[in-house]
Chains A and B, each alone.
Chain A
Amino acid sequence: MDDIDIIKLYFDRSEKAINKTSEKYGRYLMRIAENILFSYQDSEECVNDTYLKAWNSIPPKSPKSLRAYLGRITRNSAINLYKSYSAEKCGGSVADIVLSELEACIPSELTVEKKIDEKFLVRLLEEFLKAQKETNRNIFLRRYWYCESVSQIAKDFSLKEGTVTSILYRMRLKLKEKLEKEGIAV
């Protein structure tokens, strides 16, 4: 079923909307949540939460990309759950490694508590990503948005794991330079 038809079901307040969403995107959303949480049960909770939030927000919202819209909700729910467990977590999820890698992108002057202009930072990240080669950009997002493992990315892009690691390393350095250059602290 096309996204437009699924969104129409939400607008019609038909319970089929959730079934169809689950059929089409359930596995995709589980993958996002599992990459972050490393737990099937918690991921399932996040995905169910995504369906409820989609049901409550569409309408009035009418997402241009249902996949990205749902993915974003799942990612946010998973991050919140991850944060709530962070005190007692034992590690092991890709998210643990991803976060430490991202930490390395942050200029030292920003590691102290400072108010960040979030919108400006989002725009900066978008500029940075759009300036990259398409494949590199997508590898970066697969790692830092979707939290995918290096081996999975390597497999999907038909690259060696070392090549993916190297691309990601160079991109993190470039991002750090960009953040330092722009002096985003306000």
Chain B
Amino acid sequence: MKGEDLFVILGKIDERLIEEAMQDKMYSRQKKTISWSVGIAACICLILIGSFVWNVYTDNHSDPAKLDVSSIIFEPMGMGYEGTDDLSLKNSDDINPWTKHAKLEVLPVYKNLRYNKGKLSQSYYSTADLKNHAESFAEFLKLDIISGEAVTGEEENEIYNYILHTEQGQVSTNGAGISFNIKKGYEHLISEHTRFCCGSQSEQISGVYREYSVDGELLSEEIRFYCKHDALSDNIIAFNLQSRYEVKGENYTNSRNDDFISSSLKLADYPIITWQEAQEKLLKGEYISSADESQVAGGKLSEEAIADVDLIYYTNSNPELYLPYYRFFVKYNSDSPDNMRYAYFYVCAVADEYLVNYDKYDGNFQ
């Protein structure tokens, strides 16, 4: 037996003793104050109140730890880089609550509990938890359940989804939201799905998103919703990490709510830079993008090439962290002069001093 073994065994003693050892600390401090004179005690009271406030502050506002962002991958889209075009922008609503006038000093960063080192994102929850969640949803919407099944992998605890077959459609959950394929005739249940997400009192913000091909053909159309809150930062989180989407199909309507928050852990609120500071970084080449800078209109990044900017949380490719980024819409060379294309260039909104391994791409995506 070694000291290490005794140390481990000591860890198993009665919890009450462990608890008392910490309580004694508070007791010993109280004892000190009792013997002081009333006059001094009054002053000390003020100090104690001050120190109490300080303790509360430090307990809840510990310094944010550094964030290792090396594992976050920015995937190119079908056209070889991530971006959009004029047609899509003009025919879509912009419901992002962030605007250039937003005054924000901090934003939260979350650790994604479904992160799986580049592999398929498994559920963070057990099959039983997913089943419970799907059944709670079915109960809330008064659906008639036919059967249920878990989508699992070959390995133990490899759980992806739980699917519930109901008379009204198919419910599927991975623990980070619910997808409901609603059969024709049951579309009234969409409002119940909203109520499930937002509660009956909460107001919703909604907008239509349309995406077009290079030839101008409408590829997809979906309605995006988020529950409205009072604070801007809450709306930013709701928009980015808790949106609901509706897509109409031939025989069904898909109503899906993403809820990245339910499978993540808030790390802390982090100081963020302004969009102007982010733009300076962008122009200095300190950006992340799957686009090629040499293809930017005019041949290089410049203020004139920047068409717009917004702030988003990057959630593609199941990242390890949910971080806020400034996303710049940069004019990009295109074969279709009638439909200007824009490539996305990202600059992390979290202040540099909190980022570790923040590699900026050189314009070539590997």
Interface string of A121-150 (1 = CB under 8 A from B): 110011001100011011001101110000
Interface string of A63-99 (1 = CB under 8 A from B): 1110111011001100100010000000000010011
A180 contacts chain B at the CB level, 8 A cutoff = no
A118 contacts chain B at the CB level, 8 A cutoff = yes
Q: Is the CB of B18 within 8 A of A72?
A: yes
Q: Is the CB of B3 within 8 A of A103?
A: yes
B231 contacts chain A at the CB level, 8 A cutoff = no
Classify chain B: how many residues form its interface, as a range: 35 or more
Given contacts A138-B20, A138-B21, A156-B28, contact A40 B65 (CB under 8 A): yes
Q: Is the CB of B11 within 8 A of A72?
A: yes
A9 contacts chain B at the CB level, 8 A cutoff = no
Q: Is the CB of B10 within 8 A of A125?
A: yes
Interface string of B47-89 (1 = CB under 8 A from A): 0000000000011101001100000000000000000000000
Q: Is the CB of A126 within 8 A of B17?
A: yes
How far is B263's CA from A51's CA once the two chains are assembled, in angstroms? 13
A5 contacts chain B at the CB level, 8 A cutoff = no
Given contacts A83-B4, A141-B21, contact A76 B11 (CB under 8 A): yes
Q: Contacting A134 at CB < 8 Å: which of B9, B24, B59, B113? A: B24
How far is B8's CA from A83's CA once the two chains are assembled, in angstroms? 11
Q: Which residues of B contact A71 (CB under 8 A)?
A: 18
Q: Is the CB of A106 within 8 A of B6?
A: yes
Q: Give the secondary structure class of A's interface.
A: helix
Given contacts A26-B62, A83-B4, contact A68 B261 (CB under 8 A): no
Q: Which residues of B contact A13 (CB under 8 A)?
A: 129, 132
Interface string of A24-50 (1 = CB under 8 A from B): 101110100000000011001000100
Given contacts A103-B2, A103-B3, A138-B24, contact A48 B265 (CB under 8 A): yes
Q: How far is the CB of B317 from chain A (nearest CB, A)?
A: 22
Q: Is the CB of A129 within 8 A of B17?
A: yes
Q: Contacting A44 at CB < 8 Å: which of B16, B25, B65? A: B65
Instruction: Please give me the residue from chain B that is nearest to A141 by CB atom.
Output: B21
B12 contacts chain A at the CB level, 8 A cutoff = yes
Q: Is the CB of B62 within 8 A of A30?
A: yes
Given contacts A138-B20, A138-B21, A156-B25, contact A65 B15 (CB under 8 A): yes
Chain A: how many interface residues by the 8 Å CB criterion?
62
Q: How far is the CB of A90 from chain B (nearest CB, A)?
A: 17
Interface string of B1-42 (1 = CB under 8 A from A): 111111111111111111111101100110010000000000
Given contacts A41-B65, A67-B22, contact A72 B15 (CB under 8 A): yes
A23 contacts chain B at the CB level, 8 A cutoff = yes
Instruction: Tell me the total A-B contact number using a CB cutoff of 8 A.
Output: 130
Q: Give the secondary structure class of B's interface.
A: helix
B191 contacts chain A at the CB level, 8 A cutoff = no
How far is B113's CA from A15's CA once the two chains are assembled, in angstroms? 12
Q: Is the CB of A122 within 8 A of B1?
A: no
Instruction: Please give me the residue from chain B that is nearest to A140 by CB atom.
Output: B21
How far is B21's CA from A149's CA once the two chains are assembled, in angstroms? 14
Instruction: Please give me the residue from chain A that is nearest to B125 by CB atom.
Output: A13
Q: Which residues of A contact B15 (CB under 8 A)?
A: 63-65, 68-69, 72
Instruction: Please give me the residue from chain A that is nearest to B28 by CB atom.
Output: A157
B262 contacts chain A at the CB level, 8 A cutoff = yes
How far is B32's CA from A146's CA once the two chains are assembled, in angstroms? 23
How far is B26's CA from A158's CA once the two chains are assembled, in angstroms? 12
B114 contacts chain A at the CB level, 8 A cutoff = no
Instruction: Please give me the residue from chain B that is nearest to A52 by CB atom.
Output: B113
Q: Is the CB of A79 within 8 A of B21?
A: no
Q: Is the CB of B28 within 8 A of A145?
A: no
A173 contacts chain B at the CB level, 8 A cutoff = no
Q: Is the CB of B7 within 8 A of A15?
A: no
Q: Which residues of A contact B5 (CB under 8 A)?
A: 116
A19 contacts chain B at the CB level, 8 A cutoff = yes
Q: How far is the CB of A115 from chain B (nearest CB, A)?
A: 10
A4 contacts chain B at the CB level, 8 A cutoff = no
Q: Which residues of B contact A51 (CB under 8 A)?
A: 265
Q: Is the CB of B18 within 8 A of A99?
A: no
Q: Which 10 A-B pairs have the closest CB atoms?
A: A103-B3, A68-B15, A141-B21, A102-B3, A138-B24, A99-B3, A138-B21, A68-B18, A110-B1, A156-B25
Mark A residues whose CB is within 8 Å of B. 13, 15, 18-19, 22-24, 26-28, 30, 40-41, 44, 48, 51-52, 63-65, 67-69, 71-72, 75-76, 79, 83, 95, 98-106, 110-111, 114, 116, 118, 121-122, 125-126, 129-130, 134-135, 137-138, 141-142, 144-146, 156-158
CB pairs A–B below 8 angstroms (16 shown): A13-B129, A13-B132, A27-B62, A63-B15, A68-B15, A72-B18, A76-B11, A98-B3, A98-B7, A101-B3, A106-B1, A106-B6, A111-B2, A126-B13, A135-B24, A157-B24
Q: Using A40-B65, A141-B17 as known contacts, list a sample of 20 further A-B pairs with CB atoms less than 8 Å apart, ordered by residue number in A.
A: A24-B59, A28-B22, A48-B265, A52-B113, A65-B15, A65-B18, A75-B11, A76-B11, A79-B11, A106-B2, A111-B2, A116-B1, A118-B9, A126-B14, A137-B17, A141-B18, A144-B7, A145-B21, A156-B29, A157-B24
